[in-house]
A = this chain, B = another copy of it.
């Protein structure tokens, strides 16, 4: 099993004009990415937002499926949503992983645009086999802020098909990237 963690962050991300914003939580981002994380053996799924009311919303959704009637209705959903941890900032996520691993995770981001320094999926799949902790960070809205991308240890290649269209939902991109890195 890999030593990979996943975070979905709602700040700092950009809107369609490139301005830095805090985005709202999308219910199916929680469900879909939790189910992908569970499928690929990721150790935890951090949902990051500094907004207290948004944190409360995420906690309410998780509780419905892990302790409420949803847990009885759909146990497979419970075991996925149990992997979610809510944090204020990415720094808090890194602190939590340091506590678990006694080691600081390398950070990995994805970017829909081509980047000269980006790492291919086959190469990064090999890097993960070292067993060292890595944190894969996804941005919501129009993606992670450039300043955040610039500070990451690794930038993965954009996900491309045979067209020049690269506007996948973050839920879909997360699934495809986990499959490329950890799939059979």
Q: State A100–B180 Cα separation when bound (angstroms).
A: 34
A76 contacts B167, CB within 8 Å? Answer: yes
Counting CB contacts under 8 A, is A131 at the interface? no
- Within 8 Å CB of A165, what residues of B? 35, 38-39, 76, 79-80
Q: Which residues of B contact A175 (CB under 8 A)?
A: 168, 172-173, 175-176
**Chain B residue nearest to A75 in the complex (CB):** B167
Q: Chain A, interface size: which category?
A: 35 or more
| Minimum CB distance partner of A169 in chain B | B32
How far does the Cβ of A130 sit from chain B's closest Cβ, in whole Å? Answer: 16
One of B2, B35, B168 near A39 (C-beta < 8 A)? B168
Q: List 21 A-B contacts (CB under 8 A).
A: A1-B162, A16-B74, A32-B168, A32-B171, A35-B165, A35-B167, A35-B172, A36-B172, A39-B159, A39-B160, A39-B165, A39-B168, A40-B161, A40-B163, A80-B165, A161-B179, A161-B182, A161-B183, A161-B184, A162-B182, A180-B183
A10 at the interface (CB under 8 A from B): no
- Give A161 to B125 CA distance when docked, in angstroms: 13
CA of A41 to CA of B164, assembled, Å: 9
Closest B residue, CB atoms, query A76: B167
Q: How many copies does the complex hold?
A: 2
Tell me, in angstroms, the Cα distance from A44 to B28 when the chains sit together. 24
A151 to chain B, nearest CB (A): 27
Which residues of B are found within 8 Å of A36, using beta-carbon distances? 168-169, 172
Tell me whether A179 and B179 are in contact in the complex, defined as CB-CB below 8 angstroms, given that A162-B41, A163-B39, A163-B40 are known contacts: yes
Complex CA distance for A35 and B168, rounded to whole angstroms: 5
Complex CA gap A173/B166 in Å reads 18
Q: What residue of chain B has the Cβ atom nearest to residue A74's Cβ?
A: B16
Residue of chain B at shortest CB distance from A36: B172
